[in-house]
Amino acid sequence: MESGAKKWGFQGKQGLEAASTTTVRGYLNLLMGNINQDNCLTVVPLGHGDPSHFPSFRTTPAAEDAIVDALRSAKHNCYSTTVGILPARRALADYLNRDLPYNLSPDDVYLTIGCTQGIEVVISILSRPGANILLPRPGFPLYEAWCAYNHLEMRHYDLLPEKGWEVDLDALETLADENTVAMVIINPGNPCGNVFGYEHLKKIAETARKLGILVIADEAYDNIAFGSTPFVPMRVFGLTVPILTLGSISKRWVVPGWRLGWLVTSDTDGILQKSGVINSIAGFLNISSDPATFIQAAIPQILENTKEDFFSKIISTLRECADICYNRIEEIPSLTCPKKPEGSMFVMVKLNLSILEDINDDVDFCLKLAKEESVIILPGIAMELKNWLRVTFAIEPSLLQEGLARVKAFCQRHAKKQ
């Protein structure tokens, strides 16, 4: 048969490539591709929250031992149940029940492949023709990617830098209508490094109840708070509004490659059950993959045996890194940090283009910074906030110092001449 004579009946899925380029990984791939390979400088990764490579952030031996014990037992080489094995779900329910005014049961817990699959699940099951969802700006771009892929309309509410990145609740109410299904909150904040206080979370819950929408609480960075505001889980307000909580061991235990997360339903009035959301979660998990069974099996031992001093050490290191990051950025005239980070592993920084030469926008800044200084920083447009930057401070303190010194040198080199 001659070449081109046959018409093939397949093609790639339209829209998938466009959705994927807007993710953190999409932008990181773009920036890494702009690194000057002839440059002998060590790459400083200030673009994503994975400090597991660095000695100061090694996970606890208790977690490593739990994995080894589960694997060597030879009891967990089998398939998992679709919602996750019962011992892991029971242990997580007990772990998450602390300080709640009601009790979660193992049936409220669904194990996922990290928080990433949890996002995929909740966006997929809530998508329907004409529906819309309220997303934070700035936020985590994987939500936008999955909404685009599922044709779920996105409406962005603002986080207010002048108010410590609190939700603009008045404006949020004007965005919602009868087709709004949910709002997403990320606490502790990715990308802002903020931590919502109890009273603000209470107002969020009351607003969601008033609007008749559920709250998707992304708590990937749960308990990673090192400022004056303590972490409060959104599920505390599960008596007020239905809540879907997303969490994982990735950040608190510094093991993102283990890919173990959870989706938890807080539904004391049975609203999620009556609306079909619970059945949809189970149905979606029936047709998707599960976390590795031996990782699930290690969860009870990880939760029981991890000592508080491990968490304290990680928090202390993150506080040190946050101080370094904030203080060094304060020394750079073209960058402004509206609030010192109090949680997670990130901070949002305002880019002042008016005092820089040959820099068109935040993407151009990050591309040129990668090429000239081998420093990777995420452009704010990835989080729906143009001409801002997301800086990760969760790396070895000495390397953070070096990376920010290079950022300062870059900004000085591109400063407009007086």
Q: What is the pLDDT of residues 354-398, one digit of tens each?
A: 999 999 999 999 999 999 999 999 999 999 999 999 999 999 999
Alpha-carbon distance 64 to 70, whole Å? 10
pLDDT at 1 over 50: no
Q: What is the number of other CB atoms lying within 10 angstroms of the CB of residue 381?
A: 19
- The H or E element that residue 354 is part of is none
List, for residues 87-124, the tens digit of each pLDDT value: 999 999 999 998 899 999 999 999 999 999 999 999 99
* Residue 137 burial (C-beta neighbours within 10 Å; 0-12, 13-18, 19+): middle
Residue whose tokens read 């410590």: 164
What 411-414 contacts at long range (C-beta under 8 Å, 24+ apart), as own/partner pairs, is 411/332, 411/333, 411/334, 411/335, 411/356, 413/372, 414/356, 414/357, 414/358, 414/359, 414/368
* Collapsed DSSP state (helix, strand, coil) of residue 340: coil
pTM check: above 0.75: yes
Average pLDDT over residues 70-77: 97
Alpha-carbon distance 296 to 48, whole Å? 25
Please tell me the predicted confidence (pLDDT) of residue 3: 58
Question: Is the pLDDT higher at 53 or at 6?
Answer: 53
409 with 395: CB under 8 angstroms?
Answer: no
Domains and their CATH numbers in the chain: 21-58+309-414 (3.90.1150.10), 61-305 (3.40.640.10)
pLDDT at 79 over 60: yes
Residue whose tokens read 């990937």: 220
175 with 169: CB under 8 angstroms?
Answer: no
pLDDT at 4 over 80: no
Handedness of CA 58, 59, 64, 67 (dihedral sign): negative
Alpha-carbon distance 237 to 242, whole Å? 8
51 with 346: CB under 8 angstroms?
Answer: no
